[in-house]
Amino acid sequence: MQPLFVTAYTVVTACGMGKKPLLDALLKQRSSLKSARMIKLDFLTYTGEVESALPEVRDDLKSYDARNARLALAALDCEDGMFRKAVIAAAARYGAERVGVIIGTSTSGIYETELAYQADLSTGMLPEAFDFKHQHAWVATAEFLKKELELRGPCYAISTACSSSGKAIAAGQRMIETGICDAVVVGGVDSMCHLTLHGFHSLELTSEQPCTPLDQDRNGISLGEGAGLLLLEREATVDTSASLVGYGESSDAYHMTAPHPEGAGSAQAMRSALAMAGLQAGAIDYVNLHATGTRLNDQSEMRAMASLFESTTPCSGSKGMTGHTLGAAGAVEAVITLLALEHAFAPGTCGIRHVDSEFNNRVLTEPVQLPDIRYVMNNNFGFGGNNVSLIFAKEATDG
């Protein structure tokens, strides 16, 4: 494949607005999970909620105003608007019609629909500001970003549950390789909502404590919310610190919610990514696992890891810090691997006490320095047995 340059990236999570607070949290291994607050629940669970005030959507795009749009807007404008500036520069270089937008989301603006239904129940009518098409239809956040950034290239959403934004990054690569675009804003956004909290609880997959992925006593997930955006470009810029060198996608063809017991589908996604990048498994310096914290998910993924990697390859999971951001997880965790490349370290696994002894790989309990880090892999797997694995490479900034 044609390697593409990651010329800018940004993130908003429960850890804070931007890359800096996430990097700090990763280095200090500080969890942002707290008892759920935003939505009142009749059961106990921890969540990674974005607590800072989110920016307001501008007047001419008010119809798109939703928590998802605001999370996306925060990602554009945090840390001095660095990401927005990079997109504007790319649009100036290539032309706005040559810059696309592909955004992963699992639930889009369903939170606004939930609130609208509650209002309908109490007042007999939907709130005036509720706009289903521009807030909740699955393409809403992508379309909002396209308009906010005044881009004119192809724009669509990918919604394959928890692999959504990993797949959006892969799709962005194809758009550039085939000459349809020269740059693509890729990533994912998902907000807290009643549906996922109640849904995962009814599937008995939520933990009553902060989740502890990869731990021998792990007992479920903690949900999170956030936005992660990457700018993929055909050409490098002076700010380029990494490139996308491979991706792999597969289906389990096994079960809607349960992973394949041996991780056959996830192993296939990782194998395809390695083949596309032209790398042996031994070349990977760090793997950011999907590691949701449920018994079966982590076991399945670690069996897939063991079938491909030597026991020395460092790997860890991030959801004990941010919560599981669902459709945004692929992008948020891609940002974590990019931070690892840029700052020459591998994050630990927040919340872990005892690594499950069944796992044969080097699960990092704490961050480690990796001065020679070169290639990192990021895994994400979703409902429907939908798998994606990405490989990024460090680009020498001094040329």
Partner 1 sequence: MDKPSLAVLGTGVSFQNPESALVSSLECGFEWCDMQTELLPPMLRRRTSMATKLAFAAAERACSSANIMPSELPVIFTSSLGEIGVTDKLCSAIAHQQLPVSPTQFHNSVHNTASGYWSIAVGNKHPAMAMAGYHDGFALALLEAWSQLHTIEKTLLLVCYEEIPPQLLLPGNQWIGCASAFVLAAEQPAGENVARLSMPYCDAEMRSDQRYGDQSPALAAMPLLKAVEQNVSGTVQISPAEDGAWFTELSCP
Near partner 1 by CB under 8 A, which window of 22-30, 105-113, 234-242, 373-381? 105-113
The reply to whether 384 sits near partner 1 by the rule CB under 8 A is yes
Q: CA quadruple 211, 188, 183, 231: dihedral positive or negative?
A: negative
Q: Which of 25, 73, 91, 139 binds partner 1 (CB under 8 A)?
A: 139
Q: Which of 157, 186, 273, 352 binds partner 1 (CB under 8 A)?
A: 157
The reply to whether 53 sits near partner 1 by the rule CB under 8 A is no
Q: Which is nearer to partner 1, 102 or 315 (CB)?
A: 102
The reply to whether 124 sits near partner 1 by the rule CB under 8 A is no
- 234 to 263: interface string for partner 1, x by CB under 8 A: ---------------xxxxxxxxx------
The reply to whether 94 sits near partner 1 by the rule CB under 8 A is no
Q: What is the closest distance, in whole angstroms, from the C-beta atom of residue 351 to partner 1 in the complex?
A: 25
CA distance 152 to 167: 21
The reply to whether 201 sits near partner 1 by the rule CB under 8 A is yes
The reply to whether 128 sits near partner 1 by the rule CB under 8 A is no
Q: Which is nearer to partner 1, 19 or 324 (CB)?
A: 324
Q: Which of the residues are catalytic? A: 162, 290, 324
User: Which residues make beta-bridge pairs with 183?
Assistant: 99, 233
The reply to whether 129 sits near partner 1 by the rule CB under 8 A is no
Q: Which is nearer to partner 1, 215 or 249 (CB)?
A: 249
Structural contact between residues 196 and 48, judged by C-beta atoms closer than 8 angstroms: no
The reply to whether 27 sits near partner 1 by the rule CB under 8 A is no
CA distance 363 to 214: 8
The reply to whether 313 sits near partner 1 by the rule CB under 8 A is no
Q: Which of 3, 82, 154, 307 binds partner 1 (CB under 8 A)?
A: 154
The reply to whether 174 sits near partner 1 by the rule CB under 8 A is yes
Near partner 1 by CB under 8 A, which window of 75-83, 119-127, 305-313, 353-361? 119-127
CA distance 171 to 160: 13
Q: How many residues bind partner 1 (CB under 8 A)?
A: 62
Q: What is the closest distance, in whole angstroms, from the C-beta atom of residue 239 to partner 1 in the complex?
A: 26
State the amino acid at position 260 in one-letter form.
H
Q: Which is nearer to partner 1, 175 or 340 (CB)?
A: 175
Which residues contribute to the site for partner 1 (CB under 8 A)?
1, 42, 97, 106, 110, 113-114, 117-118, 120-121, 126, 132-133, 136-139, 143, 152, 154-161, 167, 171, 174-175, 177-178, 180, 194-195, 198-204, 249-257, 264-265, 268, 276, 382-386
